[in-house]
Amino acid sequence: MIMPPFRAVISIRFLSLLAVTTALMVTTKAQTPGPAPSPAQITPAPAAANPADVATMDSTIAALYDVISGPAGKRNWDRFRSLFAPGARLIANGVRPTGEVASRVMTVEDYAQRNGPFFEKNGFFEQEAARHTDEFGNIAQVFSTYESRHAKDDAKPFQRGINSIQLMNDGKRWWVVTIFWQGEDEKNPLPDKYLKRPTDVIN
């Protein structure tokens, strides 16, 4: 979520979510994501969340897609920030023209700064098409299949892929801890199991 937002060889996103994020892939050493930053990190406190956005896993993921989607214009980045745990990471994964697989690791602020200008000039709509969820205790892993469109009523998405979303519930609300995504391509088509929404989605 993601996200969010724009995708080229790899998608932008959610969460998205997206294509612009992955235009120039640079391998970055990832820090271990977690609900709280290490003492050496200086991470801004997240904005206060709308309780309705983070009450359930479903509402949190829905808010993640919604906040990056819309016609050309500014996005509500405070709402975006409010969905993420301190120290959260967004990781775009894709294939360079040379065939090398690489990832770009971003903080929440990195994502907003990199993709904000794109959203201001371009319409971008991303929605969840299917979901596979595994949950244990206070943690959850969601494989969220996304579809990205330039306009809300476009018949066909220009990009599909998987947002791998890790979440944590602290007993009061849900937090997005990591979003790790990759776009579909000719060598990696989405399998059927990630195109069907199960009836037993965990809330």
> Tens of pLDDT along 136-147?
999 999 999 999
Average pLDDT of the residues of the chain: 82
- Identify the helix (H) or strand (E) that includes residue 93: strand 84-95
Per-residue confidence (pLDDT) for residue 151, from 0 to 100: 97
Mean pLDDT of the 94-105 span:
90
Per-residue pLDDT tens over the stretch 14-66: 434 343 343 333 333 334 444 554 444 455 566 799 999 999 999 999 999 99
pTM comes to: 0.77
Burial class (CB in 10 A: 0-12, 13-18, 19+), 20: buried
Name the token pair of 95: 């294939």
- Whether the CB-CB separation of 70 and 123 falls below 8 Å is answered with yes
Return the closest-CA partner of residue 163 out of 149, 135, 186, 184.
184
